[in-house]
Amino acid sequence: MGRRVLVTGGAGFIGSHTCLVLLEQGHEIVVLDNFDNSSPEALRRVQELAGSTQLTLVEGDVRDPKAVDQAFRTAGTVDGVIHFAGLKAVGESVANPLHYWDVNVNGSRVLAAAMDRHDCRTLVFSSTATVYGEPQTFPLREDMPMAPIHPYAQTKVAVEQILGALCRAGSWQVACLRYFNPVGAHPSGQIGEDPMGTPNNLFPFITQVAAGRRERLRIFGQDYATPDGTGIRDYLHVMDLAEAHGVALDRLFQRQNADPLTLNIGTGRGLSVLEVVHGFEQATGLTIPYELVERRAGDVPRLEACPQSAQTMLGWSARRTLEEMCRDGWAWQQANPTGYRNNS
Ligand code: NAD
Ligand code: UFG
């Protein structure tokens, strides 16, 4: 059944793919985004791909109660909210923790207060695998302790705690989705990840090396206690992650439990950096030059989800392969060498 959904940060990497899935599910969407790390062009392409005009944009900051109220008024009635708007760079959070607490925590507080005012208490929140800190046992289950080791993860833990308290206070339906490492792009190559400047993350760096924009990949660390010495992460296709939001929201609409639905969203299969590089080479037939360098500060050796709860509670599991992640990410890079900029 079509619902009205407010999507904060809907123009971003995960948000844009999720908006497409929601439109295809028949929902009407209002996006609130200040384009701090995205472009309106992403939303234009989402509508084009969906063949739908059921998306309205409100340009504004989630920390601004007037902007959030305007988004609610624009929608008329909002049935549920998906809250992506936030900051995600670990290093930047160490350098500027107050900014991270302001955008991620204060932004979520302002949003939750507005939801309460507008009588909408159904929320899917973007949390992260980094809430587990530097864990020692795998795979990671949701009942394992949260032990954040940098301000970025601390802000996500704080928001999970606020949302838990709201659920205990009554009448909220909340899902905290702890994403592992989303990569790739929509198979059309029309929407994808568009990092500003030098990419922090492995996948966009690899695709830019493949495109000749960067000379070689630097692999951070070769002496981790992993089979080939490089870091292990649980990479999942961004379309699988987008679909998980659609399913989680539907689940919340049917649910009456008081506790938040806290779920790992990953494949359950960790891959080393070298495995990803070789997987990309196989999927594309290209060679990725690389050098092994020092570890990157703040990196943990391994993160790998137990995806069982998401399967049980949502009936969702990641189904796309590494080959599809590489192929689709590469198609996006080739079709959009400079992302959404100068390219529309
Ligand atoms: P992104 O930067 O591509 O998208 C975030 C969107 O929020 C952007 O469109 C940005 O312009 C918008 N935004 C930022 N601050 C805002 C503000 N104050 N008001 C309104 N809009 C604002 O990032 P993403 O990768 O799509 O991540 C989405 C969410 O998922 C974030 O909350 C992030 O912390 C979380 N997350 C991401 C990853 C990942 O690997 N990408 C992993 C775990 C969690
Ligand atoms: N890596 C390299 N070279 C690079 C970039 C990354 O070797 O140029 C390595 C990292 O050391 C790590 C792996 O590739 O071992 C993955 O690194 P990413 O930067 O792609 O991803 P992270 O796991 O560090 O962090 C990402 C997001 C966070 C999110 C987290 C959830 O950036 O916002 O996943 O697991 F919280």
Looking at residue 27, which CATH number applies to its domain?
Answer: 3.40.50.720
Q: Which of 296, 303, 322 to mutate to test the pocket of ligand 2 (most atoms within 8 A of CB)?
A: 296
Which among 243, 232, 253, 89 has a CA at the least distance from the CA of 177? 243
Domain extent for 253: 4-184+235-266
- Residue 73 inside a domain? The answer is yes
Q: What percent of the chain has pLDDT over 70?
A: 99
Query: Distance (Å, rounded) from C-alpha 304 to C-alpha 118?
Result: 38
- Residue 259 inside a domain? The answer is yes
**What's the average model confidence in pLDDT over 293-322?**
97
pLDDT of residue 1: 76
Ligand 2 lined by 87 (C-beta under 6 Å): no
For 147-201, the pLDDT digits (tens) are 999 999 999 999 999 999 999 999 999 999 999 999 999 999 999 999 999 999 9
Query: Distance (Å, rounded) from C-alpha 156 to C-alpha 337?
Result: 32
Q: What angle do CA 279, 280, 282 make, to 5 degrees?
A: 65
Largest CA distance in the chain: 55
Ligand 2 lined by 156 (C-beta under 6 Å): no
pLDDT of residue 342: 66
132 is catalytic: no
Ligand nearest to the CA of 14: 1
Cis status, amide bond into 182, omega within 30 of 0: no
- Residue 209 inside a domain? The answer is no
Specify the 3-state DSSP secondary structure of 266. coil
DSSP 160-186: HHHHHHHHHHSS-EEEEEEE-EEE---
For the chain, how many residues are written? 344
Query: Distance (Å, rounded) from C-alpha 107 to C-alpha 6?
Result: 15
pLDDT band at 35 (very low <50, low <70, confident <90, very high): very high
Distance 294 CA to ligand 2 centre (A): 14
> Residues 307, 268: contact at Cβ < 8 Å?
yes
- Residue 318 inside a domain? The answer is no
The pair of structure tokens assigned to 193 is 């990840």
For 45-79, the pLDDT digits (tens) are 999 999 999 999 999 999 999 999 999 999 999 99
- Residue 282 inside a domain? The answer is no
Q: Residues with Cβ < 8 Å from 105, sequence gap 6 or more?
A: 155, 158, 159, 162
- Residue 316 inside a domain? The answer is no
- Residue 81 inside a domain? The answer is yes
For 308-336, the pLDDT digits (tens) are 999 999 999 999 999 999 999 999 999 99
Domain count, the chain: 1
Pocket-forming residues, ligand 1, beta carbon under 6 Å: 8-9, 11-15, 32-38, 61-63, 84-86, 88, 103, 107, 126, 128, 179, 181-182
AA identity, residue 135: P
pLDDT of residue 344: 42
Query: Distance (Å, rounded) from C-alpha 266 to C-alpha 316?
Result: 10
- Residue 228 inside a domain? The answer is no
pLDDT of residue 138: 97
